[in-house]
Amino acid sequence: MNWLKTHFQKHRKRKPWNFCWRVAIEGLIVSFIIVYVLLFFIEQKNRDFFNWPISYAILVILILAPVFETLLFQTLPVAVARWRKARFRVQILVSLIPFTLVHLVEGIAVGVGAGLIGGFYLAINYVHWREKSLWTALWTTTIAHAIRNIPAAIIILLIPGSA
C-alpha cells in the first residue's frame, strides 16, 4: 500500500487544474477497467437516465449531479470530519461511504466503478484541496466529477434510444 500513498503524494504536488484533470482521467480509467471485469461476472441493470429526454439527462449528468453530489457527499461529510479534527484518511472515508452507497442503488458495477473508485478519487481531490481552500476544493471536485461523467453523456448522445 506504500506505492499507493507515494503515487497520490506525487499528485498532491500539482497545481489545482493539473491535479483535477489528471486525477479525474486516472480515476475514470481505473473505473473502466474494474467495471469491464465486473461486467463479465455481474449483469448490470439499465440505468434510469437512459429513459430521460436527452437535454435533461445531459444537464443532470454533467452539471447538476457533479454540483449537488460534491456538496452532499464531499463538502458536508468532510466539514463534519474536519470539525471533529479527523485525519486526512478519515475525511476521505466519511466522503467515500455515502457516495458509494448512493451509487450502489444502480447495481454492483456502477456502485464499485462510479461509487467506490470514483468516490475515492473525488474524495482525495476534495480533501486535499480543502486543506488549502474551500473554493478550490469545490471547483476541482465538481469539474473532476463532470469529467468522469462525460462517457455517460456521450453514450446518451451517440446510442439511439439510450435517452
Q: How confident is the model at residue 52 (pLDDT cuts 50, 70, 90)?
A: confident
22 within domain boundaries: no
- Where does the pLDDT of residue 10 fall: very low under 50, low under 70, confident under 90, or very high at 90 and above? confident
What pLDDT sits at residue 127?
98
Q: Does a structural domain hold residue 136?
A: yes
**Domain presence at residue 25:** no
Tell me what the pLDDT averaged over the chain comes to.
91
Task: Give the count of domains, the chain.
Answer: 1
Which pLDDT tens digit goes with each residue over 84-142?
A: 999 999 999 999 999 999 999 988 999 999 999 999 999 999 999 999 999 999 999 99
Domain with 119 in it: 34-158
Residue 9 contacts residue 132 (beta carbons within 8 Å): no
Q: Within a domain: residue 23?
A: no
For residues 107 and 162, the model is more confident at 107
